[in-house]
A and B are shown apart, each in its own frame.
Chain A
Amino acid sequence: MILPNSRKTLAAAAVLLVLAATPAAWAHHGWGSYDSTALTTLDGTVQSVSFANPHASIQLESQGKTWFIVLAPPSRMTTRGLPDGTLRQGQTVSLDGYVHKGEPAELRAERIRVDGKSVELR
């Protein structure tokens, strides 16, 4: 009923399927896609705020361009002292983070300084 080596073939097919996912995936946007060798500091003005799962984000006007800044999940922002409404359009903020390797205007923030306090996001 079954070929002697079909077990190996099936196992190999499963492994190949998983490996095949990898090259296409590099192009995308995940935690590993940010250049953590260079911590970048940005000062700027908040253009818009999205306080939403899976992670909050802001658009920041800084260094003559509009950045997409990835923050932390709303639950963590809240427990660390930045509940919904504390980040607002027009606010001046400063943050440290890592720039996306493929998206030069996207930054994953490690901490944000706003209203005289510094909040760790990781």
Chain B
Amino acid sequence: MEHAGTGPGWALALEHSALGETLRQALWLYPAANVLHVLAVVAMVGSIFAFDLRIMGVARSLPLAALARLLLPIAAGGFAVAAVTGFLLFTADATAVWNNPVFVYKLGLIGLGLVNIVVFHLIPWRGVETWNTDLPSPGLAVAGAFVSAAAWAGTATLGRLIAYF
């Protein structure tokens, strides 16, 4: 099986770019990006799970708005680092990864997770002052927390599985 290969033009161009070449040839850049990608995902998914659990009803004495000020920047920062390092890893092997069906599903789950964030902040989160502490979260917020946990756990799972399919 030839790996230097076939795929859409943009993926070929990315793979053959100077950046792609550097990632393939430099001994430690690719492993370093790989490690940073994992650390970023750990920070992001961990903080998201903590926030989701609080919305689902765990530790209701913790004020949600205050918790959000700690956890959401960690999640956003983790996402930014994961996106950059993920792009670097993709560039090294763009056509093969693009042809890997697991990767496409992973992108789909990332899309679902991002749409969920937007919907969550536009609708239930607006009224958070009324259920900030010691109260059950509204159904729509809880549903969003479940979608979030599933989407990001699925994203991390499929990310790991790219290497196995």
Contacts and interface: CB of A to CB of B under 8 A. Distances in A.
B11 interface: no
B143 A30 contact: no
Interface stretch (B40-48, B68-76, B128-136, B150-158): B150-158
B158 A18 contact: yes
Contacts of A51: 25
B154 A17 contact: yes
Interface residues on chain B, size class: 35 or more
B165 A30 contact: yes
Q: Which of A18, A24, A31, A75 has the most CB of B within 10 A?
A: A18
A57 B4 CA distance: 11
B1 interface: yes
Interface stretch (B27-35, B57-65, B79-87): B27-35
B158 A1 contact: no
Interface string B144-162: 0011001100100110010
Contacts of B109: 14, 17
A5 B78 CA distance: 32
A28 B143 contact: no
Contact of B30 (A6, A50, A53): A53
B52 interface: no
B19 to A, nearest CB: 12
Say what secondary structure dominates the interface of chain B: helix
Interface residues of A, number: 36
A17 B29 CA distance: 33
Contacts of B25: 51-53
A100 B1 contact: yes
Given A17-B105, A53-B92, A103 B1 contact: yes
Given A53-B30, A54-B92, A14 B3 contact: no
B101 interface: yes
B27 A54 contact: no
Interface of B: 1-4, 23-31, 92-93, 99-102, 105, 108-109, 112, 138-140, 142-143, 146-147, 150-151, 154, 157-158, 161, 163-165
A74 interface: yes
Contact of B100 (A28, A68, A74, A78): A28
B146 A10 contact: yes
B1 A21 contact: no
Contacts of A73: 30-31
Q: Which of A50, A53, A103 has the most CB of B within 10 A?
A: A53
A53 B23 contact: yes
Given A20-B105, A25-B101, A78-B27, A1 B139 contact: yes
Given A18-B105, A20-B105, A105-B1, 15 more contacts: A1-B138, A1-B139, A2-B139, A2-B140, A7-B142, A7-B146, A11-B146, A11-B150, A14-B112, A15-B150, A21-B101, A53-B25, A53-B26, A103-B1, A106-B1
